[in-house]
Structure 1
């Protein structure tokens, strides 16, 4: 059994790992073994919160340090960031934060730095939060992201940044195979879990407050799944019907695959592809819980010679790898992990996937291109570039009450009270007389 460490010491280890390029999803489970299982929700809240406000906290901490810590002591920098987060954004008593952070510093083998830690945090407690000295600190985002959003969305960039710094609501997708959304809302009410119907997604329910999934009525039996409202919209543009041959490319962890199968009552030929062998079991877990079936393929979706049997698909959902800048509120470590230099290579991958998979679409079929990005470079500009190079591709002007019409698809920006940021475009192959 792993030796237990103080909560804040483990949080510092997690934050250091994120700075070194690991996602919270990767390093949190590994580090959670070093604390009491009952403290794991607190650890997650501390790490997510510190990442959410990292740039503001880091700006304050750097202003309070006369010089940066040595590289080998960088973990103490992250320890103080976690403490600052609790001083500024939590209800934890300040004396407990200070005392326990000093003890965590010792547990990390940095006893000589306890005086520094104590002095910096006492000054922070005494003097209160300073006025942010830069936009990076004010909005708690990296400068490059702020500038890109300001340029791309001159009327919305501040709203996007503010939404990113909120905690996302918990949203469910009700499985229509087990009853209506209205019936499930009644079951939630009976269980003391208030919620409301989502505005745009036909099977969505947004809870007033998050709850553990094992408290949700019928969750283990597949009566509902956790999925953001924006992600649920993919099935509405696909115009799904039982018996269709359907491809879900880049499918893990399988939420959209399952939504597709629910929409056709598990009566269709559905193929789900992902190139990560580690992620395919997640799709299988979701399918099993919901009692659904699909053909799972481990492959690079763009390499169609590797996996395609030559039989065309009636429908394709292409949810491409992207910057994930529309889901920062759910994954605040994106602010630390993503680089501006990532965007152009991602755009190249996205256009490559779209061009390759287009060959597998039946004439008159529908392909829905989706990202959880808010950057036009990954969204409307990809569609515009693709239409210029693909003469048999046509953009469908689908009616929708959600998002903004970009001219080449619809963009949802993150809404602090409901959905994530998402982009959708619906394409068909051939002329108007061929579209299904």
Structure 2
């Protein structure tokens, strides 16, 4: 593609944020649709700005509210999101202030609103003049619950109710950039051997005693810089997510179902632990299913991959019974907010009841496909009890042939640790 066809990345950021907050798209989807308009060298910056705006959205909106008498609406609404992009650069990046303002004002042309260049320039320059006093006002804001925590009220109330002693630590972890965790393919290298390879590339890392294949990088890097990534030596996967395959404890030769499997991180981990297991990976999203195939190809693994709905297993299961089932149930994703800060603004309180019913329906419809004596691991990347502990309590009460194995595991996000995940291991008796 000719370089001239690339758009101003601040304009693309504004479009992506508009797609999330006005059209309800996920930020990952919105950015993927604009990817062809971004030069490779700029992809990291567009991610940094777009995800950063989502992380601190109430703060940026607070400043705009105090700087503008009238909110930009209708056809000009995209420029409100451009202002967010400009403010984020000034506050949270190393981009010099004059460059942040200049590039943001320049984006107005790409958004086809040249007549409003003066407005964008004026608001950003006024912020530079008032920056200290506006920051002080923000810190003293009476609407402290949303402003200070950068979380919507409904979610804060649920976190306070479920975790009266820990909710602040959860919120603080959610507001940080996530650490980069790797899963070393132990069929290729030991953790210490792979750390030596990283060291040669001047990439600092730490191992983790509880998970034998986990490494945390001191500073995140592009996967292209990871030694032998393309050859399948290592996979990027959060620490908490790495528990799934270990709790499932797959064995070679077993029939294993990975339900809601996309993008395939857990599928490939199962096959690293049991390379000759007969794995069926199923997901309802046809586009995301392609990612499973890509991950299997990179790791030179084989699994049967299907597009299928967990509510109707009879349509794709062919009467097959499984020794083990991993059900990574669709959930609120409240445990991975630091990786996907748009979740805070896309989710609604009313979503939780709908999700719990969907989770329970999938669990009850998949359960008959587990062999007697078999193991099912129920997993979510949520921290809400309604999707986790309470679901399992209800299921055990209503299904006498289900028995809980070990303790329920609720991981909460921590700054240098893993994301928020829940696991329950169930046996069929």
Q: How many angstroms apart in 2 are the aligned matches of 1:359 and 1:343?
A: 26
Question: How far off is 1:149 after superposition?
Answer: 1.1
Query: Secondary structure of the residue that 1:305 maps to in structure 2?
Result: helix
Question: How far off is 1:157 after superposition?
Answer: 1.0
Answer yes or no: is the 8 Å Cα contact 2:176–2:415 preserved in 1: yes
Query: Secondary structure of the residue that 1:410 maps to in structure 2?
Result: strand
What is aligned with 1:179? Answer: 189
Q: What pairs with 1:113-132 in structure 2 (closer than 5 Å)?
A: 113-128=116-131, 129=135, 130-132=137-139
Question: How far off is 1:196 after superposition?
Answer: 1.1
After superposition, give the CA deviation of every residue in 1:352-390 in whole Å (9 maximum; x if it has no partner).
111111101111211110000111111111111111111
- Relative distance call for 1:388 and 1:298 in structure 2 (3 A) is same
What is aligned with 1:332? Answer: 341
Q: How many angstroms apart in 2 are the aligned matches of 1:137 and 1:392?
A: 48
Question: How far off is 1:21 after superposition?
Answer: 0.9
Runs of 4+ aligned residues of structure 1 deviating over 6 Å after TM superposition are none
What is aligned with 2:420? Answer: 421
Is residue 156 of structure 1 aligned with residue 159 of structure 2?
no
Q: What pairs with 1:356-395 in structure 2 (closer than 5 Å)?
A: 356-395=365-404
What is aligned with 1:411? Answer: 410
Q: How many angstroms apart in 1 are the aligned matches of 2:19 and 2:51?
A: 13
Answer yes or no: is the 8 Å Cα contact 1:55–1:140 preserved in 2: yes
Answer yes or no: is the 8 Å Cα contact 1:56–1:139 preserved in 2: no
Q: What pairs with 1:6-85 in structure 2 (closer than 5 Å)?
A: 6-19=8-21, 20-85=23-88
Answer yes or no: is the 8 Å Cα contact 1:201–1:230 preserved in 2: no
Query: Secondary structure of the residue that 2:165 maps to in structure 1?
Result: coil
Q: How many angstroms apart in 2 are the aligned matches of 1:343 and 1:68?
A: 31
What is aligned with 1:189? Answer: 199
Q: How many angstroms apart in 2 are the aligned matches of 1:67 and 1:324?
A: 35
Unaligned runs of 5+ in 2: none
After superposition, give the CA deviation of every residue in 1:96-119 in whole Å (9 maximum; x if it has no partner).
222222222233222332232222
After superposition, give the CA deviation of every residue in 1:114-140 in whole Å (9 maximum; x if it has no partner).
232222222211222232422212111
Q: What pairs with 1:276-291 in structure 2 (closer than 5 Å)?
A: 276-291=285-300
Q: How many angstroms apart in 2 are the aligned matches of 1:288 and 1:32?
A: 23
Query: Secondary structure of the residue that 1:100 maps to in structure 2?
Result: helix
What is aligned with 2:109? Answer: 106
After superposition, give the CA deviation of every residue in 1:31-74 in whole Å (9 maximum; x if it has no partner).
23334332221111111111111122112212322122222111
Question: How far off is 1:181 after superposition?
Answer: 1.5
More off after superposition, 156-165 vs 118-127: 118-127
Q: How many angstroms apart in 1 are the aligned matches of 2:204 and 2:332?
A: 33
TM-score normalised according to structure 1 size: 0.93
Question: How far off is 1:213 after superposition?
Answer: 1.2
Unaligned runs of 5+ in 1: 399-408, 431-436
Q: What pairs with 1:230-241 in structure 2 (closer than 5 Å)?
A: 230-241=240-251
TM-score normalised according to structure 2 size: 0.94
Q: How many angstroms apart in 2 are the aligned matches of 1:352 and 1:35?
A: 41
The correspondence for 1:204, drawn from 175, 191, 214, is: 214
After superposition, give the CA deviation of every residue in 1:280-329 in whole Å (9 maximum; x if it has no partner).
21111111111111111211122121122333211110000111111111
The correspondence for 1:139, drawn from 143, 149, 152, is: 149
Q: How many angstroms apart in 2 are the aligned matches of 1:46 and 1:379?
A: 33
Q: How many angstroms apart in 1 are the aligned matches of 2:119 and 2:151?
A: 27
Q: How many angstroms apart in 2 are the aligned matches of 1:324 and 1:420?
A: 10
Answer yes or no: is the 8 Å Cα contact 2:138–2:147 preserved in 1: no
The number of aligned residues is: 419
